[in-house]
């Protein structure tokens, strides 16, 4: 359960970590071209108000989970795992609930303690974010590397965006044990109307499919 939660959310630690965490870390000197690309990605994230689509998650042992997700800025998110996985993750703007529908359990986290702000915050500026440590062009995609803590010398988070039309496509997380989890998103729809009740934790048993 915890690994599923971290796989979905930990990739956004770059924006959620406070400046104090990175106070002794020197941000790399990006080239003007890199800075322009980071500005393009930031603009995409800042102009996107809602996202929905499907996802495929590949765990460290090759296990595959699928489902659907819904995001509405600021602060609201829902990830529905398909059966037989009983996990449901819902953020209502103030807290995040990780629900096991089979066991009928709910774990809650204050939203400010979870690394959600890269996607869920109103304003993003990757160029000035000290957690961003790399940018690369790979196979027609932009790959942003970040670290979740200043003690790490290398990146443990990568986010993949399509180009030239910028859109989030994938993220990969390497946890403290060196285990890798990759989440790919597809059938992406941007700035469509989403039923606000999907982000109510009390109504979390409802499905997003209509």
Mean pLDDT of 75-96: 91
Residue 175 is predicted with a pLDDT of 76
Whether residue 84 has a cis bond before it, omega within 30° of 0: yes
Please answer whether residues 144 and 41 qualify as being in contact, where contact means their C-beta atoms are separated by less than 8 angstroms: yes
Q: Would you say residue 182 has pLDDT above 80?
A: yes
The model's pTM is 0.78
Query: What domains lie within the chain, and their CATH numbers?
Result: 2-203 (2.50.20.10)
Return the closest-CA partner of residue 71 out of 186, 165, 194.
194
| Contact in structure between 115 and 7 (CB atoms under 8 Å) | no
105-155 pLDDT tens trace = 898 887 765 555 566 778 889 898 888 889 999 988 999 988 765 444 444
């Amino acid at each position: 359960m915890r690994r599923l939660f971290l796989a979905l959310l930990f990739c956004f630690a770059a924006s959620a970590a406070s400046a104090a965490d990175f106070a002794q870390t020197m941000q790399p000197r990006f080239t003007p071209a890199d800075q322009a690309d980071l500005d393009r990605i930031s603009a995409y994230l800042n102009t996107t108000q809602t996202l929905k689509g499907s996802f495929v998650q590949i765990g460290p042992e090759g296990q595959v989970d699928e489902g659907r997700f819904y995001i509405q800025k600021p602060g609201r998110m829902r990830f529905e795992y398909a059966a037989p996985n009983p996990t449901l993750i819902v953020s209502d703007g103030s807290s995040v609930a990780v629900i096991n529908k089979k066991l009928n359990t709910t774990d809650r986290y204050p939203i400010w303690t979870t690394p959600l702000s890269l996607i869920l915050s109103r304003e993003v500026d990757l160029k000035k974010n000290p957690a961003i440590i790399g940018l690369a062009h790979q196979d027609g995609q932009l790959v942003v590397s970040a670290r979740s803590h200043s003690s790490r010398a290398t990146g443990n988070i990568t986010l993949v965006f399509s180009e030239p039309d910028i859109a989030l496509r994938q993220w990969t997380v390497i946890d403290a044990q060196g285990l890798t989890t990759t989440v790919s998103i597809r059938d992406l729809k941007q700035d469509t109307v989403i039923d606000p009740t999907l982000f109510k934790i009390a109504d979390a048993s409802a499905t997003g499919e209509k």
